Amino acid sequence: MSSMNERQALRRQLREQRAQLSPAWCEQTSRAICEQVTRSWAYRRARRIAMYFANGNEVSLDHLIEHAWANGKQVYLPVLGLRFTGQLWFVPYAPDSPLYANRFGIPEPQHNAHERRTGLRELDLILMPLVGFDDHGNRLGMGGGFYDKSLHTLHSGKRIWSRPKRIGIAYAMQRVARIPGEDWDVPLDGIATEQGLAWF
């Protein structure tokens, strides 16, 4: 089986498993994961943090967004770029930011072109959703490649930038033995689950 087909099969299996989780369990476990993140040095030091809105049974960061606002941190959310680019912009998100649903039905903050100019290196921390992860920092996303395409510039050429830190957010049950790698993959710096935050 090719690595691409292997990834697709693994993605399908993990998404089916996650779909079986109860909403109450997801809510309780998401809160525990958010609390793990708040105790980390990466979060405490960060001033500009990119988060996301959960889709389906993904780990919800709603509690962490509220915590960040209460502690004077700037929250950013991903906004889909043009269809042919497959990239993300990260735009500010405040308590009074109006939202609209993107083409996948996920809320995004309404914004103007100027607010798309936040450079990746201006962010301190990116918290990323995922379908699966392994112990080597490999992340299996939904299959669109949005995060990898957006972050690839940080890993292209000879220099690998230390900012922003990239932390995957997942339930512990999303850990697998190995995720087949592809050339465009951007590795995680760490993974946060209900069991704690581990660095790679």
Q: Which residue ranges make up each domain of the chain? A: 3-199
- Give the residue, 111 or 85, on which the prediction is more confident: 111
Please tell me the predicted confidence (pLDDT) of residue 158. 54
For residue 126 the two structure tokens come to 């990116």
Please tell me the predicted confidence (pLDDT) of residue 129. 96
Summarised one tens digit per residue, pLDDT across range 137-150 is 999 988 777 888 88
Q: What is the mean pLDDT of residues 48-73?
A: 97
Per-residue pLDDT band for 4 (boundaries 50, 70, 90) equals confident
pTM beyond cutoff 0.85: yes
Q: Which range, 9-18, 160-169, 174-183, is most confident?
A: 9-18
Query: What is the fold, at CATH topology level, of the domain defined by 3-199?
Result: Rossmann fold (3.40.50)
